[in-house]
Structure 1
Amino acid sequence: MQCKGAFMKTNVAPRCCPGRQRLAPAAIGHRGRDRLVVCASKVPVDQLLGVAKHAAQLGAEVVMAALDKPRTITRKEGTDIVTETDKASEAAVVGAIRAAFPDHAVLGEEGGVQGDVGSDYLWCVDPLDGTVNFAHGYSSFCVSVGVVRHATPVAGCVIEFLPAPGGPSAWSTRTFTGARNTGAFLDGKQIFVSRVKELRDAVVATELVYYPDMWPQLSALHRSFTGQCRGVRMSGAAAANLCHLAMGCIDSYWQYNLKPWDVAAGLIILEEAGGRATTGDGLAYSVFDRSLIATNDALYDKVLALTEPQTSAMLSEGVSLSPWCVPRGYRVRSGAQLD
């Protein structure tokens, strides 16, 4: 789904604003296993997380039921596709959220904006992240349900589908959860990012998507990471990449043109696992930003050293990296998550 129509330009501080400067390492998210204690939500985060888990489970049940059935695939824009399962999963997820929080706003990849955009809370729903993988029976794909207060994720759940023993039609799931100041968990067991310190020892993830105006920089970045890291992996699902980073099986992730429903749930899981996220040129990240680097602490400066020059080159050539996909009327206030 493209960001137009029901979306507006945000009042998040622009990239040139002094109030949105590059952050020193100690100022961004968590450091290792330490906790950054903030009051992130007026609704208790355990209540938000409970609804996120319930909604994601309902969506996952829809996906699981469809795995052994023929797919009905419809083209969206370009090479993007949607299936009837995306839509049915989103309906189940959104129904659960609206029943629990009728006064909150919901942003779904397929259905757009629903609910009260005057709310402090925006639920970001990707009912089937990795639709191409799902359509071809290729792992991994997932259901992602996250909630942000203004622009900051406060709770999220990602249910990932993986092949299971028993043949090509057998699938299992694993559930990632996180809520502000409570930790990140995989099937109930706490998880943390890796402690890899050098790029030569790192496995990194991205999705090599062709954007004509960004292609020179994206291909240069892919070349740099491939040449300097142990390996570059592409899962086909942004939420899965963030969760894989949170559990320590990859060490960094970089991507451009992600949307709020791609990152809201995975980002809070990553942060609670001790990870860090900024824009590609080192500015404080919000779910409405178009560039993302996510790493453990030890690799952050090394990754930024590769992404910052290419991100700056995009900006100097007029590529738009301003915030996008903000629902019209939704209040995005810098620092509001801290009150």
Structure 2
Amino acid sequence: MAPSLSSPKTISQTFSLIPSHSFSLVSHRLPNYRNLLPRTHEPSLRLKHGIQLSFDTNSMGGFRCGAILSDVERERNYRKIGSQSTGSLSANQLLELVEAAAKTGAQVVMEAVNKPRSITYKGTTDLVTDFAVSVGVLFRGRPAAAAVVEFVGGPMCWNTRTFSAATGGGAFCNGKRIHVSATDQVEQSLLVTGFGYEHDDAWATNIDLFKEFTDISRGVRRLGAAAVDMCHVALGIVEAYWEYRLKPWDMAAGVLIVEEAGGSVTCMDGGNFCVFDRSVLVSNGALHGKLLERIGPATEKLKSKGLLVPVLMLVLLHSISIN
């Protein structure tokens, strides 16, 4: 266990004098804290945000403190995607309606999946892997409330769990507050992605990203349901999820649940996200910038080819061509 210092003011003063963007190594003489360090412990102290303090016990008159910050990610605040209001309904009222809609839909699906011969559904594959009923409500184009009922188990023994969130109110699973993980190293992260049915340039690009992140992380999973993948990020059991060419109804609920659980949401090039975009990256926040270093350039190439045109733009272009 890291030792606690009796004079935290000394350390806070040390770092408050130095701009966080202008250095990679900090050295400062500190008072003698040798007696506070366990003899069996390496003379170092880890602070929040990944800052490692190391102490040189040979310095006269005290310790020499060095903090290596080159590996510390520069924090960036990504624009919030949730609506600032829920309109004429209170957040609680709207959330009750959304949860009721999702649970009603889940009951209908539950009855259907237990009678597979009666199913007429374009994505039948999803019904034998991981799937959900997802309901998201937008207010002035931005997510205001969300509910996702995830099916877990298998045919004839399905169980469900319900994720929910309203803007500004936090995220919940079966009524209990949830939060994203604190993992800040890609090497220690478990990631999730998805692939569309069309084997085009976007598909090939994501295959390359899949391979790249598989090599440097704990693994990359593909479950098959975007809403579920995002809820797993919110629950803290995986660190990030990304995918190209989703539809608004795939993302509207999940992105809000991630954000309300303390995560970050952007497009895959790092740009501000809206549900009509054709790429999404959600993460625990701590890893977001590191993931974008690899995902961003690949996405920019796809955008330059016109392959990630927002849904609303496609509708507009289609209407113009008809007229």
Alignment match, 1:159: 149
25, 29, 32: which is aligned to 2:76? 25
Q: Does 1:143 align with 2:130?
A: no
Distance in 1 between residues matched to 2:293 and 2:117, nearest whole Å: 43
- Output one character per residue of 1:179-233: Cα deviation in whole Å (capped at 9) or x when no partner: 0011100000000001110111011101133431324422221121111111101
Whether the 8 Å contact between 1:153 and 1:265 is mirrored in structure 2 is yes
Offset, 1:327? 10
Q: Does 1:69 align with 2:62?
A: no
280, 298, 303: which is aligned to 2:286? 298
- Output one character per residue of 1:255-296: Cα deviation in whole Å (capped at 9) or x when no partner: 000111101111111111001110111111000000111111
Alignment match, 2:169: 182
Alignment match, 1:41: 87
Matched length: 241
Q: Does 1:238 align with 2:289?
A: no
- Output one character per residue of 1:122-159: Cα deviation in whole Å (capped at 9) or x when no partner: xxxxxxxx74231xxx3421100110113211101000
Distance in 1 between residues matched to 2:314 and 2:238, nearest whole Å: 32
Offset, 1:42? 4.1
Whether the 8 Å contact between 2:112 and 2:119 is mirrored in structure 1 is no
Distance in 1 between residues matched to 2:308 and 2:116, nearest whole Å: 38
Distance in 2 between residues matched to 1:247 and 1:43, nearest whole Å: 27
Offset, 1:325? 5.1
Whether the 8 Å contact between 2:241 and 2:282 is mirrored in structure 1 is yes
Alignment match, 1:248: 236
Matches within 5 A, 1:119-134: 131-134=124-127
**5+ long unaligned stretches in structure 1:** 1-23, 31-35, 75-80, 83-129, 330-339
- Asked which structure has the greater RCO (Cα within 8 Å, sep 6+), the reply is 1
184, 202, 225: which is aligned to 1:197? 184
Offset, 1:314? 1.1
* TM-score when normalising by structure 2: 0.69
Whether the 8 Å contact between 2:276 and 2:311 is mirrored in structure 1 is yes
Offset, 1:68? 2.1
Q: CA, structure 1 residues 279+37, in 2 after alignment: closer, same or farther (shift >3 Å)?
A: closer
Distance in 2 between residues matched to 1:310 and 1:153, nearest whole Å: 27
Distance in 1 between residues matched to 2:78 and 2:129, nearest whole Å: 36
Q: CA, structure 1 residues 310+292, in 2 after alignment: closer, same or farther (shift >3 Å)?
A: same
Q: CA, structure 1 residues 154+37, in 2 after alignment: closer, same or farther (shift >3 Å)?
A: closer
Alignment match, 1:258: 246
Offset, 1:241? 0.3
Whether the 8 Å contact between 2:83 and 2:139 is mirrored in structure 1 is no
Alignment match, 1:52: 98
Alignment match, 2:56: none
- Which of 1 and 2 has greater Rg? 2
Offset, 1:251? 0.3
Q: CA, structure 1 residues 189+226, in 2 after alignment: closer, same or farther (shift >3 Å)?
A: same
State, as a whole percentage, how many aligned pairs show the same letter. 40
Distance in 1 between residues matched to 2:221 and 2:279, nearest whole Å: 18
Partner-residue secondary structure (3-state), 2:160: strand
* Aligned amino acid, residue 45 of structure 1: A
Calculate the aligned-residue CA RMSD, in Å. 2.4
Whether the 8 Å contact between 1:278 and 1:293 is mirrored in structure 2 is yes
Residue range with higher mean Cα deviation, 219-228 or 252-261: 219-228
Partner-residue secondary structure (3-state), 2:143: strand
Distance in 2 between residues matched to 1:67 and 1:306, nearest whole Å: 39
Whether the 8 Å contact between 1:278 and 1:285 is mirrored in structure 2 is yes
Whether the 8 Å contact between 1:154 and 1:179 is mirrored in structure 2 is yes
* TM-score when normalising by structure 1: 0.66
* Aligned amino acid, residue 76 of structure 2: P
Whether the 8 Å contact between 1:131 and 1:141 is mirrored in structure 2 is no
Whether the 8 Å contact between 1:217 and 1:313 is mirrored in structure 2 is no
Distance in 1 between residues matched to 2:254 and 2:313, nearest whole Å: 18
